[in-house]
Amino acid sequence: MAFGLKKDITWDKSRLPRHVAIIMDGNGRWAHRRALPRIAGHRAGAEALRKICRYAGRIGIEYITAYAFSTENWKRADDEVSGLMALLLSYLQNAEKELGGDEARIRVIGDRSRFADELQREMARVERVTADNKKLNVTLALGYGGRREIIDAIKKIAADAASGRISIDDIDEGTLDSCLYTNFMPDPDLVIRTSGEMRLSNFLLWQNAYSELYFCDTLWPDFNEKAFDLALRAYENRNRRFGGR
């Protein structure tokens, strides 16, 4: 270890969340406080995500799911949306090197159809080239909305029931789970939302039924390894009962 570099905390794997979902909020306010354009906040936010993914992989977290662009974000000002799209494109172009190192499998969940063809191609490419990576699963929620996801799942189930592929009596939680965009991942153990807001904002609504929620005032671009450690410590001290006693 080079002189001056701090060593990572060694976590008890059994007390560490397997899956951390993150609502990265506060980029705009971070930029405003520095008299910078909003896109500078998003750029700093993208860098914070890169750092957190690499750290999460090092300490043994298996899944990070980040809310990077919601269905509602399409309503933002044109210049902010186009700035975010340009940022996303360059981010994806480097994602296999930058986001969690060469051991991260990267996926995208959400409605891709509104994204430019070039971006859709890049999403598919990153998923393809990282498909064999096993250590960390990084999922970017892009064009994502939880209610829309549930409606899509219901439509699939209804079509299967109408065609006789499944019987209505056999529909259970597993049926819905398997039709969600997230069918490859366990439910989040911990949800982090930065910047003092205390909402889920349509993020993984079904999947977060029993997740532990952690809110902090830090603006997302300032969220670093130390801030993540605080969230993990808080999680370690929670007593998860999943509705039981």
Q: Is 180 in the site for ligand FPP (CB under 6 A)?
A: no
Q: Among 19, 22, 42, 110, which residue interacts with ligand FPP (rule: CB under 6 A)?
A: 42
Distances (CA, A) of 32 to 36, 69, 99, 214: 6, 20, 26, 25
Q: Which of 8, 12, 25, 208 is catalytic?
A: 25
Provide the minimum distance between the beta carbon of 71 and ligand FPP in the complex, in angstroms, as a whole number: 12
Alpha helices per DSSP H over the chain: 27-33, 38-59, 78-98, 117-129, 146-162, 173-179, 225-236
Which residue's CB is nearer to ligand FPP, number 64 or number 180? 64
The contact pattern for ligand FPP, residues 120-159, with x = CB under 6 A and - = no contact, is --------------------x-------------------
The Cα 68–Cα 109 span in angstroms is 10
**Site for ligand FPP, residues 46 to 65, rule: CB under 6 A:** 46, 49
The Cα 142–Cα 153 span in angstroms is 17
Residue 57 has phi, psi (to 5 degrees) of: -65, -40
Q: Is 39 in the site for ligand FPP (CB under 6 A)?
A: no
Which residue's CB is nearer to ligand FPP, number 71 or number 207? 71
- Cβ neighbours for 149, distance < 8 A, ≥ 6 positions apart: 109, 180, 181, 182, 205, 206
Verify whether residue 160 is a known catalytic residue: no
Which residue's CB is nearer to ligand FPP, number 73 or number 208? 73
SS (H, E, C) 208-239: CCCCEEEECCCCHHHCCHHHHHHHHHHHHCCC
Provide the minimum distance between the beta carbon of 48 and ligand FPP in the complex, in angstroms, as a whole number: 7
Q: Is 29 in the site for ligand FPP (CB under 6 A)?
A: yes
Q: Among 20, 22, 27, 100, which residue interacts with ligand FPP (rule: CB under 6 A)?
A: 27
- Cβ neighbours for 36, distance < 8 A, ≥ 6 positions apart: none
Q: Is 87 in the site for ligand FPP (CB under 6 A)?
A: yes
Output the DSSP codes for 64-91. Answer: EEEEEEEGGGGGS-HHHHHHHHHHHHHH
Which residue's CB is nearer to ligand FPP, number 16 or number 185? 185
Q: Give the position of tokens 């480097």.
A: 94
Verify whether residue 111 is a known catalytic residue: no
Q: Is 193 in the site for ligand FPP (CB under 6 A)?
A: no
Size of the residue set binding ligand FPP (CB under 6 A): 19
Q: What is the binding site for ligand FPP (CB under 6 A)?
A: 24-29, 42, 45-46, 49, 68-69, 73, 87-88, 91, 140, 195, 220
Task: Tell me the catalytic residues.
Answer: 25, 73
